[in-house]
Structure 1
Amino acid sequence: MNNPADKSFPVTWDQFHRDSRALAWRLTGMGGFEAVVAIARGGLVPAAIVARELNIRVIESVSVKSYDHQSQGQVRVLKPISEQVLEISKAGGRVLIVDDLVDTGATARAVRDMLPGAHFATVYAKPKGREMVDTFITEVSQDTWIFFPWDLDVAYVAPISGGTD
């Protein structure tokens, strides 16, 4: 994206918590999950909320890096999924993968390859990656940059129209 200020979607902690709980509500009718895998770092917060709401006690993480601040690069696995959770999946157990966002689908594809039978859920989805996830809450356009609460600080913002008050 050339200028992230052009189309930005700032998300507050309150909104992110509500959206993560909405994701949990949407997942409740899909039967019990035996484990949740959070894609670190962005998926850690929604995975914790979803795990609490769905009473999932086996919580794992996979660390995958594909972004460097605001540009997407090569997908690298920094921390793989534990053997315990891989065995749950191989034995036919229900595993839930949670992330904050699916953008191009590159990260989702890498994690899906590790857990092909898992249910993949994200809070937000962009069109290019939407087909990689099974469940999401809000779709945003591909050229919108989402600013998550951990990326924000309270500051003045100029009106969208560019004018002044």
Structure 2
Amino acid sequence: MSSPTPPPPREVLPWSRFGEAARELARTVADSGWMPDLVIAVARGGLVPAGAVAYALDVKAMGTMNVEFYTGVDQTLGEPLVLPPLLDTSALAGARVLVVDDVADSGRTLELVMQRLRAGERPPAQARSAVLYTKPRSVIEPDYTWHRTERWISFPWSALPPVTATATDGA
């Protein structure tokens, strides 16, 4: 009888380290001498990092682009899919935009977002990307990365299963 396959090694980012990671990523952006006018979060994974980076950079203007691609550990849709509500890219004309996501794993989500921003009717003057983690297989090299890894990453906002109604929840 064969034993079950052990889970792949994981990179774990706990809440206790997240604030420091986001601040270090923001410091990398600031130290480059380039500052964004607005931050765009790639939802869902980039929502929390984008908010933390925007606060650290003192950028108040934020937007969100909703993209679905990963459906599980190393499980994806055929192509990344932009979900509604759609970002009004006409408001980006002439701006310096920082796109923030949690990870550039395959890089296909980040690549799609960057292409859509640059190909818009009124594109931003500059668009750069920042991620907490970049993996070697990513098809895009983010402008700013906090850490590089080959492992699957457990983020504090997605480490636990979704909350659902149960009989004890009073539902």
Structure 1 residue corresponding to 2:140, chosen from 131, 143, 161: 131
State whether residues 108 and 139 of structure 2, in contact with CA within 8 Å, keep that contact through their aligned partners in structure 1: no
**Normalising by structure 1, what TM-score?**
0.81
Q: Map 1:15-164; keep pairs closer than 5 Å.
A: 15-29=17-31, 30-70=33-73, 71-73=75-77, 74-79=79-84, 80-83=86-89, 86-88=90-92, 90-91=93-94, 93-116=95-118, 117-129=126-138, 131-141=140-150, 144-152=151-159
Alignment CA distance shift 1:151-1:21 (3 Å): same
State whether residues 4 and 145 of structure 1, in contact with CA within 8 Å, keep that contact through their aligned partners in structure 2: no
Alignment CA distance shift 1:4-1:124 (3 Å): farther
Secondary structure, in 3 states, of the residue corresponding to 2:65? strand
**Normalising by structure 2, what TM-score?**
0.78
- Number of residues paired by the alignment? 145
- CA distance in 2 between counterparts of 1:106 and 1:32 reads 25
Q: 2:14 corresponds to which residue?
A: 12
What's the offset of the Cα at 1:69?
2.2
How big is each residue's C-alpha offset from its partner over 1:100-141, in whole Å with a ceiling of 9 and x where there is no partner? 000011101110111234110001000121633111010001
Greater per-residue helix proportion: 1
- CA distance in 2 between counterparts of 1:63 and 1:132 reads 20
State whether residues 46 and 99 of structure 1, in contact with CA within 8 Å, keep that contact through their aligned partners in structure 2: yes
Secondary structure, in 3 states, of the residue corresponding to 2:59? coil
Poorly superposed stretches of 4+, deviation over 4 Å: none
1:39 partner letter:
V
Larger Rg: 2
1:25 partner letter:
R
Quote the RMSD (CA, aligned, Å).
Answer: 1.8
- CA distance in 2 between counterparts of 1:4 and 1:50 reads 35
